[in-house]
Amino acid sequence: MSLATAAATLTKDQALSLVEEALKHSKAEGAFVSISAGEESLARYSSNQITQNLSRTQFTLTVTSYFGTRHASASTTDSDPEAIAAVVRSSEALARLAPEDPEWVPLLEPPAYEERTPAFDERTATLSPLERGGMIQRVCALSTQAGVDGSGTLSTEAYVRAIGNSQGLRAYNRYTEADFGFTARIEDGSSWSQRTAWSVDQLPMESLTAQIIERSLQSRKPREVSPGSYPVVFDGAAFKDLLSWLSWNLDARAADEGRSFMSRTDQSDKAEGNLLGEAMFSPLVHVQRNPAHPLLQGSTFFGDGLPNRALDIIQDGIPKTLSYSRYWAQKQGKEPTGSISSVVMAGTNQPLTDLIAQTERGILVSRAWYVRYVNPKTLVVTGMTRDGTFWIENGKVAYPIKNLRFNQSLPDMFRDVDALSTVERYGDSVVPGVRVKAFNFSSVTDSV
């Protein structure tokens, strides 16, 4: 089988036959096989002209062999039967030498997966370099016409994922994704945004480009505002980067071991479990893991074989679910959840402009840039605004302001959410624009 065949066109029968080919060679006590294949294409543009247009086909078959609590993995990019047999032998040889794993868990029995088909768009999977170039050309023409320097990316991807193990587990998915990002710069002003969809035709490329160009023109000659705590309206693209930090830190083991903002501790700071079920955030905050959301329509399983199904993560501001790995779930007597991804935060029917109109005085943030930990245990993070930060006065965007560094407790920020807009997809998340009553800015920065 050629690599061209073993990419996005790899059918369920073809993929699972490769899984069977690997398993039949296994002499280990247990084996797990995973296949990752696809076609990835990317166009970059800068200074209002395309600078790169490339595609990559990839195929990887990985075998993990188990002998008792010892295990090891080996991979190949060749789908030939001899190559598959060889990678099985390599995996087994390494597993016999591997140390015993104190966090070993047995292979999964076949779970029940949702009976749905992830979104796969043929046009997105087969979009030619010429078509991508034409789309970018239209974006660059709008930038040139407006007198701004436009740059960004347009990517399309078609994936195939297949897994199987010696306990009878078998699963296959294929799906597509398209992503568009655009930055407009002019003089000392700039603006940026990004959108993701499962079909390239769902990307609002030209309307988003026009919106970002207009915001970049408005961002010139920014004024300085003193650091402090202000009401903030976050564009959805900016808020997504902060929501991601919250979801990444909803880990049950870290909470139970006293290493998380979700940890319950006694007076001596000793861990006493977690804070699930306590009202910690604004009652407006509703977050799910929902891979079946119409804007996502993602995979039905995770890479380790666990089902990827809907979970209530935060409901009415109350955390309902933490992420349990198979090992920690076994240790704590819980059900494993898989990762908290495909995050969907509920919004409303009002546009972002309504949130601004309802704000007497505050700051509009278009982008949260270079967000990093200050304190992982309390989930205080730092970062900077970028690409369009504005002062709001009497319900209107009054003027651009210089970018600010923030130091902010994310649990406090989610407690202070007081308004939501409509949702959009950014990466693998669906997020609204959000207003918070208070957000802490620590200094002015020189970032553009």
| H or E segment to which residue 96 belongs | helix 81-97
CA distance 51 to 49: 6
Residue where a domain terminates, one of 169, 197, 215 = 215
Q: Tell me how many helices (H) and strands (E) the chain has.
A: 10, 21
Q: Can you give the pLDDT at residue 271?
A: 83
As a whole number of angstroms, the distance between CA 12 and CA 17 comes to 8
Please check whether residue 3 lies inside any domain of the structure.
no
Distance CA 337, CA 307 (A): 8
- 161/242 same-domain check: no
Instruction: Judge residue 294's burial from the number of C-beta atoms within 10 Å of its C-beta, 0-12 exposed, 13-18 middle, 19 or more buried.
Output: exposed
Q: How far is CA 214 from the centre of its chain?
A: 27
pLDDT of amino acid 420 = 98
Residues 63, 180, single domain; the answer is: yes
Are residues 239 and 313 part of one domain?
Answer: yes
- Give the whole-angstrom CA distance, residue 415 versus residue 412: 5
Q: What CATH number does residue 174 fall under?
A: 3.30.2290.10
Among candidate residues 162, 195, 215, the one where a domain is terminated: 215
425 and 290 part of one domain: yes
Are residues 31 and 100 both part of a single domain? yes
Chunked mean pLDDT (size 10), the chain, 448 residues: 55 97 98 97 96 95 98 97 98 98 97 96 95 96 98 97 98 97 97 98 97 97 97 98 97 96 88 92 98 98 97 98 97 96 97 98 97 97 97 98 98 98 98 98 89
Tell me whether residue 53 is in a domain.
yes
Check residue 277 and report its DSSP letter.
T
Q: How far apart are CA 19 and CA 164, in angstroms?
A: 6
Do residues 417 and 371 share a domain?
yes
Q: Do 206 and 286 sit in the same domain of this protein? A: no
Angle ∠(25,29,35) on CA atoms, nearest 5: 50
Rg (CA), the chain: 24
Q: What is the DSSP string of 141-154?
A: HHHHHHT-EEEEEE
Let me know if residue 231 belongs to a domain.
yes
The rounded distance, in Å, linking the Cα atoms of 386 and 373 is 18
| 18 membership: H or E segment, kind and range | helix 12-25
Expressed as residue numbers, the domain containing 388 is 222-250+277-321+340-444
Q: From CA 444, how far away is CA 406, in angstroms rounded?
A: 9
Do 149 and 81 belong to one domain?
A: yes
Say if 344 falls within a structural domain: yes
Q: Is the pTM of this model over 0.75?
A: yes
Q: Is residue 296 part of a domain?
A: yes
Looking at 198, 215, 232, the residue that finishes a domain is: 215
Q: How far is CA 165 from CA 33, 107, 232, 250, 256, in A?
A: 6, 7, 49, 29, 31
Residue 269 maps to a domain: no
Give the per-residue pLDDT at 413: 98
Please answer whether residues 262 and 284 qualify as being in contact, where contact means their C-beta atoms are separated by less than 8 angstroms. no
Residues 290 and 157 in one domain: no
**243 inside domain:** yes
Same domain, 394 and 436: yes
Q: Which of 75, 3, 64 is nearest to 31 (CA)?
A: 64
Instruction: Say whether both 140 and 66 belong to one domain.
Output: yes
pLDDT computed for residue 2 by the predictor:
44
> How many domains is the chain built from?
2
Task: Tell me, yes or no, whether 181 and 290 share the same domain.
Answer: no
User: Is 427 within a domain?
Assistant: yes
Amino acid 7: pLDDT? 57
